[in-house]
Structure 1
Amino acid sequence: MPWRLATEFTFDSAHTIVGYDGPCGRLHGHTYRVRLELTSDRLRPSAHVKRHIMVADFKTLKWAKKDVDAGGLDHAYLNDLPELGDDTTAEVIAAYIHRHTMARVRADLPGGDDGADLKLRVTLWETPDSSCEYWE
């Protein structure tokens, strides 16, 4: 893959790991740090520029940084998200961010482009020294 697009951002959210025997079973919060790496073997247009000059738009990749009321994850209670429910471990959140990021990237593709060459790696830090990676 000749291009690797990378971005990092943070968001603050709260959660409870239901059934966890310990402090994580109680309501608590994190400043999550996210690194997204999207690779492609070609450049494409975006919603904001029609020339083939991007892997993807950084705006599209940073959706999770937005406030929960704007469709992001910032200041969300993660257990309220139907896809997560009681399963709010770093592993499950990283997969959730992957799924929703790829859906947004694919929605921005020009007609007829299935984005088959696009590969996304999500790294999610729950604390400064504890992270999880997810990719397909």
Structure 2
Amino acid sequence: MPTWTLHTEFKFDAAHFIDGYDGKCGRMHGHTYKVHISAKSHELNPSKYLKSADMVCDFKELKWAASDSKKGGFDHSVLNEEIPVATTAERIAEYIHKETVKRIPGNIELKVTVWETDTSWVEYTDQDV
């Protein structure tokens, strides 16, 4: 069976605090988050930018979170004001995944990896791996 897997990475700068955290992460601070998204499909699809079925999905749809906060992304935002969940790396990855799924065809398996620092990251997928 043919399989295509797209990979893209992007960064965004944002501030956050973890509400209720007993330690320095409970105070407002910032990170340059790095995000890697892989999108796997066994068929090609059209997109809102290309009507023929010649891509897994558009890279633009995978990179939405890198946009400025005034354009619907997270760059230069306070994450606590942008997302309705706790701002742990785990929940940020889950939120990016869920919002990205809404923007792409339903036959695509996504995996989202979010680095909070160079040495600390989390992977999220809704697939049983």
Displacement of 1:49 after TM fit? 1.4
Q: Distance in 2 between matches of 1:81 and 1:31?
A: 16
SS across alignment from 1:51: coil
Q: Distance in 1 between matches of 2:115 and 2:45?
A: 30
Question: Mean alpha-carbon deviation: is it higher for 34-43 or for 48-57?
Answer: 48-57
| Letter of the 2:42 counterpart | D
Count of matched residue pairs: 125
* 1:109-128 correspondence runs (5 A): 115=106, 117-128=107-118
RMSD of aligned C-alpha atoms? 1.1
SS across alignment from 1:104: coil
Contact 2:74 2:82 in 1 (8 A): no
Displacement of 1:81 after TM fit? 2.4
* 1:1-136 correspondence runs (5 A): 2-84=3-85, 87-106=86-105, 115=106, 117-136=107-126
Displacement of 1:121 after TM fit? 0.2
Q: Distance in 2 between matches of 1:8 and 1:71?
A: 18
Displacement of 1:68 after TM fit? 0.4
| TM-score, L = length of structure 1 | 0.88
| Letter of the 2:119 counterpart | D
Task: Please list every run of 5 or more consecutive structure 2 residues that lacks an aligned counterpart in the other structure.
Answer: none
Q: Distance in 1 between matches of 2:68 and 2:116?
A: 18
1:110-135 deviation digits (Å, cap 9, x = unpaired): xxxxx2x3110000000011000000
| Letter of the 1:14 counterpart | A
Displacement of 1:82 after TM fit? 4.8
Displacement of 1:53 after TM fit? 0.7
| TM-score, L = length of structure 2 | 0.93
Q: Distance in 2 between matches of 1:66 and 1:28?
A: 20
Task: Please list every run of 5 or more consecutive structure 1 residues that lacks an aligned counterpart in the other structure.
Answer: 107-114
